[in-house]
């Protein structure tokens, strides 16, 4: 049974998956900087990842503010090889959601693609204005 409105659920789930995407970006930046990723020229990739991280962090800050205003929280309950469980709280209402881990991966991948497209388009815009 659904206890959260569609808007509350979309807000909280976007926050959840965006937070996961930020972790992936941070890990990628770390692996490139440490040299564990094999890039001949790593600066353009780092620049793109840093833009993506900045955009995601800004969006997450706005989501966190909206969630605080609406008294929404997301709590990780448990994880195993196949599923991850999260508890969504909103003004005294609770809703437990189980996610198939490959579904989580796909949602995070979609967010990464959005951020990458935004990062690439902003890089193109700034390169045109720099010339």
Report the C-alpha gap between 108 and 91 in whole angstroms.
Answer: 27
Q: What is the pLDDT of residue 126?
A: 60
> Residues 88, 12: contact at Cβ < 8 Å?
yes
More confidently predicted of 36 and 56: 56
More confidently predicted of 106 and 118: 106
Name the band, by pLDDT with cuts 50, 70 and 90, for residue 130: very low
Name the band, by pLDDT with cuts 50, 70 and 90, for residue 38: confident
Using CB atoms within 10 Å of the CB of residue 36, give its burial: 0 to 12 exposed, 13 to 18 middle, 19+ buried. exposed
Taking the model in full, what pTM does it have? 0.89
Residue 122 pLDDT > 80: no
86-113 exposure pattern, b = at least 16 Cβ within 10 A, e = fewer: bebbbeeeebebebeeeebeebbeebbe
Chain segment 17-29, per-residue pLDDT in tens = 999 999 999 999 9
Q: What is the pLDDT of residue 66?
A: 97
Chain segment 71-93, per-residue pLDDT in tens = 999 999 999 999 999 999 999 89
């Amino acid at each position: 049974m659904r206890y959260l409105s569609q808007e509350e659920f979309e807000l909280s789930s976007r926050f959840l998956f965006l937070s996961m995407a930020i972790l992936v970006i941070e890990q990628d930046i770390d692996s490139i900087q440490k040299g564990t990723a094999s890039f001949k020229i790593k600066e353009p990739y780092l620049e793109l990842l840093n833009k993506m991280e900045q955009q995601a962090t800004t969006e997450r800050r706005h989501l966190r503010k909206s969630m605080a205003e609406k008294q929404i929280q997301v709590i990780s309950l448990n994880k195993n090889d196949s599923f991850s469980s999260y508890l969504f709280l909103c003004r005294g209402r609770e809703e437990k959601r189980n996610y198939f881990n490959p579904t989580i991966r796909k949602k995070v991948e979609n967010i990464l693609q959005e951020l990458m497209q935004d990062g690439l388009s902003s890089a193109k815009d700034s390169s045109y204005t720099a010339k």
